[in-house]
Amino acid sequence: MQYRFLNSPLSIGSLELKNRTVMTSMTMMYCEEGPDGGYVNDQLLNFYVERAKGGVALIIAGGVATDRYVGYGKMMRLDDDRYLPGMKRLAEGVHAQGAKLCLQFLQTGRYGNAGAVYGDSDTLCASAVPSSFSPDVPREMTQEEIRTVIENAAGAAGRARAAGADAIELCANSGYMIAQFLSGVTNKRTDAYGGSFENRCRFGLEMIRAVREAVGADYPLILRVAGNHFIPK
Ligand SMILES: Cc1cc2nc3c(=O)[nH]c(=O)nc-3n(C[C@H](O)[C@H](O)[C@H](O)COP(=O)(O)O)c2cc1C
C-alpha cells in the first residue's frame, strides 16, 4: 500500500510504533459484572488480538476502571493486584501481533452506576448534576473522595506499567469525570475544584501528576480531551 507516512514508524517519547494508526478506546462491557468482576477474559483478549492482527500500531484498550465505584459494572478493572495476570495476558497477546498496548483509564462519574449497584458508594460527580445516561442523581464529591479517586488512578497506573502496557491514556473526553470537573455545566463547586478555569482544571491536573509520579518520567501518558461536548450551557 502507498501512504508513505501512514505506514512509516513513529516514536512518541520512549514508545516506538510500527506505523501511525491507532485504535481508539471502546468500552466493550465484556467483563463479568459485580464486585468480583472486571477481569480480562477470553472474549476481551480475543477481541483485541484480532484487531492487532489487522496491523494497527497502537491499541488503546479500555476504559479501565481505576475504582470499582466510579465505573460501569462490566469494565476491566485495575484497582487490585489480582487483575495483573489478566492484564499481562492482554499485553502479551497484543505484543505477539506486533502492536503496542495503551490502557485508557476512565472514571465515569455521573454517567456510571457501579457504586450504586454494588452498594459501595453513591454515584459521584463534580457536582450533583444528573445525566440522562444514568437513572442515578449523583452526589457532589467530597475533597476526601477526590483524593481517593486520584490515589486509586495512581495505583492502577503502577499496575498498568507492571502488566506490560506500553502507555496510559486518561479519559478527559466524552463528558466523563475529568470532563465533568472541566465543564461549568457539571461543576458548580465553590471550593478549590470549581469556579475559575484554573480551579476546574485542578482535578485533572492532580490526576495527571499522580499518575506521572507512579509511572516515571519516561512512560508515555496520553490525555484524550474533547474539543466540544455539544451540551448546551
Ligand atoms: C461501543 C463504543 C464504546 C466507546 N467507548 C469509548 C471509551 O470507553 N472511551 C473513549 O474515549 N471513547 C469511546 N468511544 C468512542 C471511540 O473511541 C471513537 O471516538 C468513536 O467511535 C468515533 O470514532 P470513529 O469516527 O472512528 O467511529 C466508544 C465508541 C463506541 C462505538
Task: Kindly state the DSSP code that residue 156 receives in the 8-state scheme.
Answer: H
- Closest Cα partner for 145 from 97, 99, 173, 177? 177
The CB density around residue 53, as the number of other CB atoms within 10 Å, is 13
Measure the CA–CA gap between 48 and 197, rounded to whole angstroms: 38
Measure the CA–CA gap between 101 and 111, rounded to whole angstroms: 26
Note if 176 is an active site residue: yes
pLDDT at site 65 = 95
Q: Are 171 and 106 in contact (CB under 8 A)?
A: yes
Atom of ligand 1 nearest to the CA of 60: 17
The answer, yes or no, to whether any atom of ligand 1 lies below 6 A from the CB of 131, is no
Find out if CATH 3.20.20.70 is the number for domain 10-225. yes
pLDDT at site 117 = 72
Domain ranges of the chain: 10-225
Partners of 125 in beta bridges: 140
Annotated catalytic residue within 72, 176, 193, 219: 176
Residue to mutate (ligand 1; options 21, 22, 23, 26; most atoms within 8 A of CB):
26
The answer, yes or no, to whether any atom of ligand 1 lies below 6 A from the CB of 25, is yes
Residue with cell 457504586: 115
pLDDT mean values, one per 10 residues, the chain (233 residues): 89 94 96 90 98 98 90 92 98 98 96 78 92 88 97 98 98 96 97 98 98 97 92 80
The answer, yes or no, to whether any atom of ligand 1 lies below 6 A from the CB of 173, is yes
The CB density around residue 47, as the number of other CB atoms within 10 Å, is 16
- Closest Cα partner for 231 from 129, 136, 139, 140? 129
The CB density around residue 198, as the number of other CB atoms within 10 Å, is 9
pLDDT at site 1 = 61
Q: Are 166 and 217 in contact (CB under 8 A)?
A: no
